[in-house]
Amino acid sequence: MPGSTRLFVPAPLRPGAEIAPSPAQVHHLGAVLRLKPGARIAVFNGADGEWQARIAMLARGEGRLAVEEQRRPQEPEPDLWLAFALLKRDATDLVAEKATELGVSALFPVLTARTQASQVNLARLAAIAQGAAEQSERLSLPAIHPPRTLARLLAEWPPERRLVAAVERAGAPPIAAGTGGAPAGLLVGPEGGFTPAELDVLARHPFVTLAGLGPRILRAETAAIVGLALLSALASTA
């Protein structure tokens, strides 16, 4: 049986395939986990399920994995998206990691009137999401989209997909009241909240449901985690 080590490898997986792990993965396997040739790990690529692989070679910063047999067939992730106003770096990293653990299939960083950050390192977010997918036994990575304004997010949002906008102090009904488990996305605002004008724009879109997350004012990253957990629970019981 493979141990608990799982690696995402962007290569086709089939019996007998040979894979070269990335330099970071070689370092992780050899220097951090101290695994030796012959050890079994699990690999996945987002398309072919999870496979057992044997470390065939690990030396001088290079490695080779021999793919053996499939352990899990590919399964779809929950159809849940997260749009979130860009936060400071650590909070954005946390949102990417937790959203991946919670099964989000697409992440949309958003620029709003009160957003404090305007740039995000997408490669860094992708690496964080990959680590979270490996750890949480996901079979795929979330898509990570470049930042876009709130106006563009709304203009490009598929109208058949509900967008649950988390808003505090607006008397909005609790999140469970407005979704019914259909394909959905969660929208979380910046630390300063949405402006009144943005709330008006949101309320005018028929696919948007304004929803509350309880009486306390949560930090944006907490709101993202709580909102995703609630939407996931709702989808699994619908």
Judged by the rule CB under 6 A, the positions of this chain that interact with ligand SAM are 166-169, 188-189, 191-194, 212-214, 216-220, 223
Q: Which residue is nearest to ligand SAM (CB)?
A: 189
Residue 221 Cβ vs ligand SAM, minimum distance, rounded to whole Å: 8
- Identify which of residues 68 and 168 has a Cβ nearer to ligand SAM in the complex: 168
Q: Give the span between the Cα atoms of 119 and 103, in whole angstroms.
A: 24
- Identify which of residues 63 and 109 has a Cβ nearer to ligand SAM in the complex: 109
**Sign of the alpha-carbon dihedral angle for 232, 234, 237, 238:** negative
Residue 8 Cβ vs ligand SAM, minimum distance, rounded to whole Å: 30
Neighbours of 202 (CB within 10 A): 20
- Identify which of residues 108 and 194 has a Cβ nearer to ligand SAM in the complex: 194
- Identify which of residues 57 and 226 has a Cβ nearer to ligand SAM in the complex: 226
DSSP per-residue letters across 23-69: HHHHHIIIIIS---TT-EEEEE-SSS-EEEEEEEEEETTEEEEEEEE
Longest Cα separation, the chain? 61
Tokens of 173: 């009904």
- Identify which of residues 29 and 228 has a Cβ nearer to ligand SAM in the complex: 228
Residue 222 Cβ vs ligand SAM, minimum distance, rounded to whole Å: 7
Angle between helix 89-101 and 220-237 (nearest 10): 10
Residue 166 Cβ vs ligand SAM, minimum distance, rounded to whole Å: 3
Residue 13 Cβ vs ligand SAM, minimum distance, rounded to whole Å: 39
